[in-house]
Structure 1
């Protein structure tokens, strides 16, 4: 399963050298994941309120390959690597046209209100496969 999300680089996203500040790539991939989940028809507020669980990022492994600059239009590509009862592994890349800029492997887990691992609700697990 894959998803694409576009984002424009604004002045506020850049550092003194005029390139995207490294931490903003994490913001871009987070927005893409949120958009992807929404496109799947998963309401994260309802998931929290009705099922008592939320998604949290457990681990991110990131590679910064090339810089993005002010006013670039970027595309974040997200692919599902694996889905289990509690966790979701995905790969995310940020591209500018044909140039790969950033790559991350992200592990997201489902937790309950106490912060303990919790099973993904079956209907959500099915949508993620």
Structure 2
């Protein structure tokens, strides 16, 4: 993946311009109309590909900040130290562009404040929850090397599938021996803190409710690498025939096995 870098035009000479990028002057071909001295622009592969407002520059820089933090963390640096180092580096870049550094810090600070408010939620996990572990891979992440939200659902589905297998009811057994599916019909979830590339995750899965034809699962994902809860997800599955044409009752022996992981009245493990 290639990145365009924000800079500020210091000189224009026909089809060429000199652009200050992080305090370094680079020469670039002018690829858009109306470029003037003082304009904020995006430079990609020696070409000015667009003009930016100050707010757009700050938005780009905060994104690049998070990307660089992710790079440092993936190399083993503590996240708080990585954040401190990267912010100091980017303050110099912001200053070289003639932008008030306090605006950059304010944008980072407001995002961090909102993030911390959400992450303060305390979640209680039953002692009888099933535990499944996974390490995130590049395929699980987006261009910032942050786990894409949809992959938390994949992790959870894998976890409760493994729970079923541990009880002697693998999905293939349900299909071929019992002639049933248990498709998901409803999902609710919160992303509380980000997980990144090569993070170790611990998933706690239990049954919140079970009836003759449906199961409500709860899955809480804790990031062992950061020590924070990443996601809290509930989803409901129903029992159907393999053609998905009619609902069926869940086999009694499966219900009996699932009670092992049915939510206790007094959960006492806090994440």
Secondary structure of 1:82's partner? Answer: strand
- 1:93-112 equivalence runs, <5 A: 93-97=220-224, 98-112=227-241
Which runs of 5 or more structure 2 residues have no equivalent in the other structure?
1-127, 260-271
**Structure 2: distance between partners of 1:56 and 1:30:** 10
In the alignment, does 2:161 pair up with 1:34? yes
**Structure 2: distance between partners of 1:114 and 1:43:** 19
**Structure 2: distance between partners of 1:51 and 1:80:** 21
- More strand as a share of residues: 1
**Structure 2: distance between partners of 1:111 and 1:32:** 21
Secondary structure of 1:51's partner? Answer: coil
Q: CA deviation at 1:47?
A: 1.9
Aligned to 1:122: 252
Secondary structure of 1:32's partner? Answer: helix
**Which of 49, 55, 60 is the matching residue for 2:187?**
60
- More helix as a share of residues: 2
Structure ranking higher on relative contact order (CA contacts 8 Å, 6+ apart): 1
Aligned residues: 129
Aligned to 2:138: 11
Task: Kindly report the root-mean-square deviation, in angstroms, between the aligned alpha carbons of the 2 structures.
Answer: 1.1
Q: CA deviation at 1:50?
A: 2.3
- Please, what TM-score do these two structures have when normalized by structure 2? 0.46
Which runs of 5 or more structure 1 residues have no equivalent in the other structure?
none
**Structure 2: distance between partners of 1:27 and 1:114:** 23
**Structure 2: distance between partners of 1:43 and 1:96:** 27
